[in-house]
Structure 1
Amino acid sequence: MNQSTLTLVLYFVVFFGIMYFLLIRPQQKQAKKRQALISSLRTRDQVITTGGIYGKITKVKEDSVIVQVAEKVEIEFAKSAIASVENRDIELEKKEK
């Protein structure tokens, strides 16, 4: 291999290293955080869905949750439709354990 080939290979390695730390790694961290949120859902959690509906979880199933959005009004959502939990911080709970 000559000098220009080595330089080109080095540029590719540096480029992919930068791409990993700027794109792939943060995306993996965000996916882990999202999975922690979904797996820690429990009854009486105040949640916001991806559609912007606010409510309180009344029942947790394997792949879905029942959310009370008003008195005597309950809607079943897929767990992946829960955007955030309002009344607690998942990260703080993990550190306490």
Structure 2
Amino acid sequence: MNAQTQQIIMTIVTWAGLFAVFYFILIRPQKKKDKKLKEMRQSLSVGDKVTTIGGIIANVAKIEEDFVVLELGPNRTKVPFEKWAIGTVESNKESVE
């Protein structure tokens, strides 16, 4: 092997190693997080207490394919939200009155 061939091989190995590092440090954990969020949003049920990505805490009143209707405040005002706006599920099956 001549020096130029060795240099090309080392460049390829370096780029492959760099890609592997980025994959395991950045890409793979983000995919796991996205999958977990999607599963959480798909498993929502009526009566769950949720927090939106905007910080609104409410109970799920109705679930549609792409959105959920949340009950807010003491008057139980019903407001529709996109499913992607649900940030966390605080607790499951709070008492629905």
Scaled to the shorter chain, the TM-score interval is 0.7 to 0.9
CA deviations on 1:21-75 (whole Å, 9 max, x unpaired) are: 0111011101100110110111000000111111100111111111001223111
Paired letter, 1:85: V
Gap runs ≥5 in structure 1: 89-97
CA-atom RMSD, angstroms?
1.1
Report percent identity of matched pairs.
34
Matched pairs, number: 88
Question: Paired residue for 2:88?
Answer: 84
Matches within 5 A, 1:70-81: 70=73, 71-81=75-85
Question: Given the alignment of the two structures, is residue 52 of structure 1 paired with residue 25 of structure 2, yes or no?
Answer: no
Gap runs ≥5 in structure 2: 93-97
Which of the pair has more CA radius of gyration?
A: 2
Question: Paired residue for 2:67?
Answer: 64
